[in-house]
């Protein structure tokens, strides 16, 4: 046995009879670099983003309204579920508006995106540009303009005007997401459908829309989220007895944040987490198709 073999045998023995391979060297380097500056920055960013949620969770169990923790209690959750009927009315108004406006915005945005991408006409580029205006304009401008429009045509402010306003600013988001999906679309599939005898309606319903389904679902969920959290536009088009949750919370916290709002926020956070977990496999299934 030569000298190199003896040294290699000694090193292997000292390291637990594990041969020194290229994979082991890379593994050791990965372990040494486990705590890097990028990981530290990532963790600090996550802590910065989620710390307010933990503070809110903590104070939702405070037995008093003050910022001093005086004891653990479920009194605000009891107040929320048993003695907060106006709050729940505003909550269900928000759910109703979000689901209905997102549904209509999804239909209109999907049809608009398919039409703009399918057909070629003179004002096509202008149509695409105008469709993105509600996304870039300040919300206060949209809210004021819609309020003036409803007053000019004599439509009383209420849930219907909130519904129309939410459809207006949700539609561009759906349009954008479906358009992004259509940009990856293989139009030879449509030609194949036509060659097999499918007419335009059959091609739309059985080929184009199923292929765009990931973008459609993403657009719908985005529209629901934006509708639920919108305050500025809703504030200008809301009327008496048609309060949504963001507007109600704004009115409730003018004299300080109520612990009931903290409790409601915690319930909504956990409800959102559960909903996202349940929808994860469904969205994967849609994307796979």
CA distance 265 to 269: 6
- Identify the domain boundary among 19, 43, 78: 78
Range of the domain at 8: 3-78
- Kindly state whether residues 108 and 198 are assigned to the same domain: yes
Q: Write the pLDDT tens digit of every residue in 193-248.
A: 777 777 877 877 788 888 888 888 888 988 998 998 888 999 999 887 788 888 88
- Kindly state whether residues 99 and 236 are assigned to the same domain: yes
- Kindly state whether residues 67 and 209 are assigned to the same domain: no
- Kindly state whether residues 36 and 94 are assigned to the same domain: no
- Kindly state whether residues 159 and 51 are assigned to the same domain: no
- Kindly state whether residues 132 and 51 are assigned to the same domain: no
- Domains: count for the chain: 2
Contact 242, 157 (CB under 8 A): yes
CA distance 109 to 164: 14
- Identify the domain boundary among 49, 78, 107: 78
- Kindly state whether residues 23 and 90 are assigned to the same domain: no
pTM: 0.74
- Identify the domain boundary among 57, 78, 99: 78
- Kindly state whether residues 30 and 160 are assigned to the same domain: no
- Kindly state whether residues 150 and 283 are assigned to the same domain: yes
- What CATH number did the domain enclosing 107 receive? 1.10.3720.10
- Kindly state whether residues 30 and 126 are assigned to the same domain: no
- Kindly state whether residues 163 and 49 are assigned to the same domain: no
pLDDT, one tens digit for every residue, the chain (289 residues): 554 555 455 555 545 554 545 555 544 554 444 567 788 888 888 888 888 888 888 888 887 777 777 778 888 888 888 888 888 899 999 999 999 999 999 999 999 888 888 777 777 777 777 777 888 888 889 889 999 999 999 889 889 999 999 999 899 999 988 888 887 777 777 778 777 777 877 877 788 888 888 888 888 988 998 998 888 999 999 887 788 888 888 887 776 667 888 888 888 888 888 887 777 766 666 556 5
- Kindly state whether residues 190 and 262 are assigned to the same domain: yes
* Owner of token pair 């000298």: 3
């Amino acid at each position: 046995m030569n000298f190199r073999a003896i040294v290699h045998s000694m090193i292997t023995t000292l390291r637990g009879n594990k041969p020194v391979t290229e994979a082991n060297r890379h593994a050791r380097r990965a372990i040494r670099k486990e705590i890097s500056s990028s990981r530290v920055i990532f963790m600090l960013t996550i802590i910065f983003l989620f710390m307010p949620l933990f503070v809110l969770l903590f104070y939702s169990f405070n037995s008093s309204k003050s910022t001093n923790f005086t004891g653990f209690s479920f009194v605000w959750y009891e107040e929320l579920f048993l003695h907060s009927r106006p709050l729940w009315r505003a909550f269900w108004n928000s759910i109703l508006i979000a689901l209905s406006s997102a549904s209509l915005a999804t239909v209109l945005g999907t049809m608009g995106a398919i039409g703009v991408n399918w057909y070629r006409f003179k004002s096509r580029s202008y149509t695409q540009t105008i469709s993105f205006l509600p996304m870039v304009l300040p919300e206060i401008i949209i809210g004021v303009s819609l309020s003036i429009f409803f007053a000019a045509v004599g439509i009383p402010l209420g849930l219907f005007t909130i519904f129309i306003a939410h459809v207006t600013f949700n539609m561009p988001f759906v349009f954008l997401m479906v358009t992004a999906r259509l940009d990856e679309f293989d139009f030879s599939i449509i030609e194949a459908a036509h060659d097999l005898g499918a007419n335009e309606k059959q091609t739309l319903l059985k080929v184009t829309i199923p292929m765009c389904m990931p973008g459609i679902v993403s657009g719908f969920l985005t529209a629901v989220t934006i509708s639920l959290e919108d305050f500025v536009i809703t504030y200008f088009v809301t009327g008496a007895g048609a309060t949504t949750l963001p507007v109600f919370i704004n009115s409730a916290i003018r004299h300080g944040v109520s612990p009931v709002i903290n409790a409601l926020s915690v319930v909504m956070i956990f409800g959102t987490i559960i909903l996202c977990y349940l929808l994860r496999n469904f969205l994967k299934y849609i994307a796979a198709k």
